Amino acid sequence: MTIDPYKRRQQRLDAKRGVQPTDEETEAGLPGLPRFSSGGKFLVAASIFAAVLTIGAVFWDRESVKLADGPDPANAAQVQLGRSLYFAHCAYCHGDALEGKPGWEQTFPQGNRPATPLDADGPAPVRSDKALFDIVKFGGQPFSPRGYRNDMPGYEHRLTDAEIWAVIAYMQKQWPEPVREERKALNR
């Protein structure tokens, strides 16, 4: 009697994994399921433990982002959330690379200046975290001179405070480290 090449390959793989071959006719347990050796049981238990830890870490990261009360460019979960929100709400005006619109540095007496860049070369790094937060939350108009019309909308009814901080964290993550270091004095 010849053994099917597929079954022979499966037997070799089972032997490497520590799965003991079973005779389905004499198996007392469930037919068709392999029986694990003690090493196999350890691997199953370790895999389950690792999965639980990973799920817990992801859940904790997401929950901590929801409770954020400031930007943290070192927090990967906050930056990732900020990135997705930036591309959903901000990139249309401020650009995919935070570059703003051409002509933003010109002064228009009545307003309607093109969107400013949010990268390290624009005006954003010279503002404190609180000022950036307020501009995103309430829009640019409350912070503009009298008679100047600012087109920056407020997001207080569209984004939570933690989501606004996440967008700011994403912006700051794109800035070079020396720029982020210089800004620490602004936030004191």
Q: Kindly report the number of other CB atoms within 10 A of residue 95's CB atom.
A: 15
Q: E-strand spans in the chain?
A: 19-20, 35-36
Tell me what pLDDT residue 145 has.
Answer: 81
CA-wise closest residue to 71 among 173, 178, 165, 164:
165
Give dist(CA 18, CA 51) in Å, integer.
21
Give dist(CA 96, CA 113) in Å, integer.
19
- The SS3 call for residue 180 is helix
Tell me what pLDDT residue 33 has.
Answer: 55
Whose tokens are 């999965």? That residue is 51
Instruction: Extract the tokens encoding 51.
Output: 């999965």
pTM, two decimal places: 0.65
> What one-letter code names the amino acid at 45?
A
In angstroms, how far apart are the furthest CA atoms of the chain? Answer: 95
Per-residue pLDDT of the chain (188 residues; tens, 9 = 90+): 566 777 778 888 888 887 776 655 344 445 555 555 556 777 888 888 888 877 776 666 556 666 678 899 999 999 999 999 999 999 999 999 999 998 888 877 667 788 999 999 999 999 999 999 999 999 999 988 887 888 899 999 999 999 999 999 999 999 999 998 888 887 77
Is residue 20 within 8 A of residue 28, CB to CB? The reply is: no
DSSP letter assigned to residue 33 = P
Is residue 82 within 8 A of residue 168, CB to CB? The reply is: yes
Q: Which helix (H) or strand (E) holds 116?
A: none
Tell me what pLDDT residue 155 has.
Answer: 96
Rounded to the nearest 5 percent, the helix, strand and coil shares of the chain are: 50, 5, 45
User: Which CATH number is 71-183's, of 1.10.760.10, 3.30.2010.10, 1.10.3720.10, 2.40.50.140?
Assistant: 1.10.760.10
| Cα distances (angstroms) measured from residue 142 to each of 76, 134, 138, 186 | 32, 9, 7, 21
